[in-house]
Structure 1
């Protein structure tokens, strides 16, 4: 994935020759017994936690659950800190282990640290830095996956027109990586290439090229001997996509290699409209749910059921959370997705690795940016939690208060009641339950909204027999008010009185009904890419990408959808670089 834009520490000299021989003997003993024993490091390495790796690949990958990605770090271009994360320290892995993670995927981009001509030598300083980071993680008893990452699109994608050179460089890369790590314990896995892609290739060529890469990777690594003789090797589908035809291609490759120590890998970022909030994909609805359940069923049936383990090397969404921008995915909808993903992965027997470019764990403080969000992810590793159709109840300030209903999604649990803090609400008086329909009474909502100030007036908890409580915000709102304004195609924002409401999405159409904006295949434009709310500043920004995509002197009708269910219409016209906005 998925780049979202202290100097490297060099590893000290390793153990001497005698220690190296002992290390090799320990590895051999581990291989013979069907487990890998932790080798004793010299003074340059931290002491390692001993990990007994199951002999079977399926059991070993199961022991890697759950996993986390050191995203946008050693895969950053050109250097470790280029994409805003600090240099890695051992404390990071100490934190991850303490938080319950059992594996870490460490994406590595080698391109800017490797000669572009034969013999394609990787810079020794960079290789040592990668090894230092890997050794820190291994020392904490974590399984580790390293790979060839953004090289996939930097030069491997040119295989169509530069086949022999690409294959030679790929083989040279893995020959050097495998030799460097040959004596590491079996808790270290190699992944051939991240999200492989091939420019201007036919489907048949793409299948052929990836089979060549995966097969050559297998041959090169195994030939280096030592711990690489039976190291677990991770092979991807094209693009790491879990489409049936692509997984079938990978299954064919794995079968032909006749190696019990192979692992299939794919990535999952949800149904695309929901993953980025485009085309009306505001909710984790039936389409998004089916996309998830179908994907995990395919992983199970194609690989797991046949004894081939699956490492879901990346998961999340393509746009959330992003602490530099307003949330494109409403929080409750995102929680429902993460809760079900954890459940379906357990049902399918798939080991998961959360993609984290910076969004979840603050690498500077080693604290979770949103502990409550991480709690939902962590809970999904072991159990289910009940949810509801929404985590918001909107109460209009301008009208009399009436009862409001939500649909409970128990997810196999039993509803136990509603709480406000430590106080339990009274069934019958404050709320009623009929089947899975939860209704908050007008009496309760009158009390909860208090003086009816705009915004969140109270937060309730729907508690279930297991898992985490589902939080419900009670919100007072009125229809938002947008004002006329002018601006330019590079800077334009609509003055907005949100009045307690929250923006969900925006439609954009021309007078003839055709779609306006960069996503011209749908009227619903992408959140944060075409428009973005600024609640504190009282405005909605229309991005330059959106405005520059509009036809000149062609009036555009914008329909803003808010989470209360309210819609507000607005009109914009671009003329050259000038933009005029008119409230309806």
Structure 2
């Protein structure tokens, strides 16, 4: 990687111009004519560049925002300190998504607003100054106008061409740590099907490649990143992109896909509340396909966005321990298959004001996965019924190649044989320990234990005292029904909805288990469960709906809804 002890490429160009000189390709400066010429080092290969970018982070919902400026989607204006924080946390690259639509003029020039382009340059320079690789792209334009390529072919292609002409010229002398991505999550409306979609995406990627390579400077051998259709990882989509790589025959290309997990688990629908075998198989299958199609063929892969789709609602959509298991396994697969990963963060992970992680345990697990495996357990929760004599509680360990070295509470080790026993992968917390930990009988978390392993992140286990939750009668409208709830130390896992006369109620009626956060949303501090307008949009007028709320302790609560026009009433069954 080049030293950052130099002016930005934009500033360098201006300085040289003042002396009647020109910037050289790749941001180099003219050699002193009195010195002996030296041989320039060979540029790093695409595989080396992409490997050096691991791990990566996304500056989401900022320069890609479709409002007036980068703060319009709720994030603060980008400052140098943000990239310094990202680098200090161990990231080596940043993907800077950019939406250009609202900053472009009309045909035929489609000129990009100079102030906006200068701001993008400034943000890129900030990241480069922190020794970060940078990936920039055309982002939400994909669903604003690029998707019309089948029905407005010449107009869309002209605008796409004009956009990349301007970007290629602007960044021609950027250092080779700056990469270009042709288009984010491409798709097309009005096409005849998969075959035409493949042809159109090939046309876009080939056009992008031709523009950038023909623009000179550092763009001649800059690493360019090409997506699959939808940035999906299904084999037909990978094969389509592989055909484009074969035709372009350029060693400085990389492929990109996105991955947000096995969909039912990722959004918590259809009862997929656990990181189960099916969810794991989906994860492993994705990495195996991109490895066999690209990595093993010498084509590097950037997984440009990853996370869980439920994070778009809030990070509690998937239960904490199940979430951590997913990210631990994800990191292990990425390392095994040599794929560079870039965490999608639209502000829900790193607080961009305080510059700290909103879920430190999640980031701890992600960071640990960059270098090795971490031990986990079958759960991170032990529920003890209030007022009862606790029974021993057994957790199944998943050491992932590590060994359990200690069980601690507030840093103090517990005593094996007295507080817990370990038999193979079965860790049992004794009844006496649980009685001691829950002596206060307060609802909710009474204690947190930490399982420490020989490597990787520790595994936290919360010991909770609970009673069966209760719900109260409520009335409202189909815009929203807020049900008063006494959670009593328990936590909601999922909700079922069926009609009293039979059949599944609510949207996505192929399952009785509704989508967490989208159709129902618990608020533990307020003591409520909200049923959303999206839920009622899928409920028949005048129907009686039977709800079953499933809680992590194993408790269930039944509730009955009756609708009449826009009015809704509900009561415990």
If the length of structure 1 is used for normalisation, what is the TM-score? 0.92
Pairing 1:102-501 to 2, within 5 Å after superposition: 102-201=92-191, 202-320=193-311, 325=314, 327-501=316-490
CA distance in 2, matches of 1:308, 1:32: 28
Residue 26 of structure 1: how far off its partner (Å): 6.6
Q: What SS is found at the alignment partner of 1:402?
A: coil
Give the 3 Å change call, closer, same or farther, for CA 197–214 of structure 1 in structure 2: same
Q: What SS is found at the alignment partner of 2:310?
A: coil
Give the 3 Å change call, closer, same or farther, for CA 375–567 of structure 1 in structure 2: same
Q: What is the CA deviation profile of residues 134-179 of structure 1, one whole-angstrom value per residue up to 9, with x for unaligned ones?
A: 1111122111000000001100000110111111111111011000
CA distance in 2, matches of 1:543, 1:262: 45
**Which stretch has the larger CA shift, 285-294 or 26-35?**
26-35
1:514 maps to which residue? 503
Equivalent residues of 2:389, 2:435 under 8 A apart:
no
- Structure 2: which 5+ residue stretches go unaligned? 1-9, 31-37
1:33 to 2:40 alignment: yes
Give the 3 Å change call, closer, same or farther, for CA 530–217 of structure 1 in structure 2: same
Give the 3 Å change call, closer, same or farther, for CA 237–32 of structure 1 in structure 2: farther
Give the 3 Å change call, closer, same or farther, for CA 19–346 of structure 1 in structure 2: farther
Equivalent residues of 1:389, 1:408 under 8 A apart:
yes
The total of aligned residue pairs comes to 554
CA distance in 2, matches of 1:427, 1:368: 34
Residue 302 of structure 1: how far off its partner (Å): 0.7
Equivalent residues of 2:466, 2:490 under 8 A apart:
yes
Measured on the aligned residues, the alpha-carbon RMSD in Å equals 1.9
Equivalent residues of 2:405, 2:452 under 8 A apart:
yes
Query: Please, which of 94, 103, 107 is the counterpart of residue 84 of structure 2?
Result: 94
2:6 maps to which residue? none
Q: What is the CA deviation profile of residues 158-212 of structure 1, one whole-angstrom value per residue up to 9, with x for unaligned ones?
A: 0110111111111111011000000011000000000001012211110000000
Residue 553 of structure 1: how far off its partner (Å): 1.9
CA distance in 2, matches of 1:547, 1:433: 49
Equivalent residues of 1:326, 1:533 under 8 A apart:
no
Q: What SS is found at the alignment partner of 1:199?
A: coil
2:5 maps to which residue? none
Residue 519 of structure 1: how far off its partner (Å): 2.0
CA distance in 1, matches of 2:244, 2:256: 13
Pairing 1:54-69 to 2, within 5 Å after superposition: 55-69=44-58
Give the 3 Å change call, closer, same or farther, for CA 515–14 of structure 1 in structure 2: farther
1:76 maps to which residue? 65
Q: What SS is found at the alignment partner of 2:427?
A: strand
Residue 363 of structure 1: how far off its partner (Å): 1.4
CA distance in 2, matches of 1:217, 1:28: 24
Residue 379 of structure 1: how far off its partner (Å): 1.1
CA distance in 1, matches of 2:357, 2:20: 39
Equivalent residues of 2:383, 2:553 under 8 A apart:
yes
Give the 3 Å change call, closer, same or farther, for CA 60–25 of structure 1 in structure 2: closer
Equivalent residues of 1:387, 1:410 under 8 A apart:
yes
Residue 366 of structure 1: how far off its partner (Å): 2.1
Give the 3 Å change call, closer, same or farther, for CA 293–540 of structure 1 in structure 2: same
**Which stretch has the larger CA shift, 243-252 or 111-120?**
111-120
Q: What is the CA deviation profile of residues 54-83 of structure 1, one whole-angstrom value per residue up to 9, with x for unaligned ones?
A: 621111100001100010000001221110
CA distance in 1, matches of 2:110, 2:86: 34
- Structure 1: which 5+ residue stretches go unaligned? 1-10, 36-53
CA distance in 1, matches of 2:19, 2:329: 48
CA distance in 1, matches of 2:262, 2:520: 21
Q: What is the CA deviation profile of residues 431-483 of structure 1, one whole-angstrom value per residue up to 9, with x for unaligned ones?
A: 12222111111111111111221111110011111111100000111111112
Q: What is the CA deviation profile of residues 294-330 of structure 1, one whole-angstrom value per residue up to 9, with x for unaligned ones?
A: 10111111100000000110001112286xx571111
Residue 396 of structure 1: how far off its partner (Å): 0.9
1:45 maps to which residue? none
1:40 maps to which residue? none
CA distance in 1, matches of 2:410, 2:522: 30
Q: What SS is found at the alignment partner of 1:582?
A: strand
Equivalent residues of 1:407, 1:436 under 8 A apart:
yes
Give the 3 Å change call, closer, same or farther, for CA 127–256 of structure 1 in structure 2: same
CA distance in 1, matches of 2:512, 2:26: 63
CA distance in 1, matches of 2:20, 2:273: 56
CA distance in 2, matches of 1:570, 1:504: 16
Equivalent residues of 1:71, 1:107 under 8 A apart:
yes
Give the 3 Å change call, closer, same or farther, for CA 326–227 of structure 1 in structure 2: closer
CA distance in 2, matches of 1:321, 1:431: 39
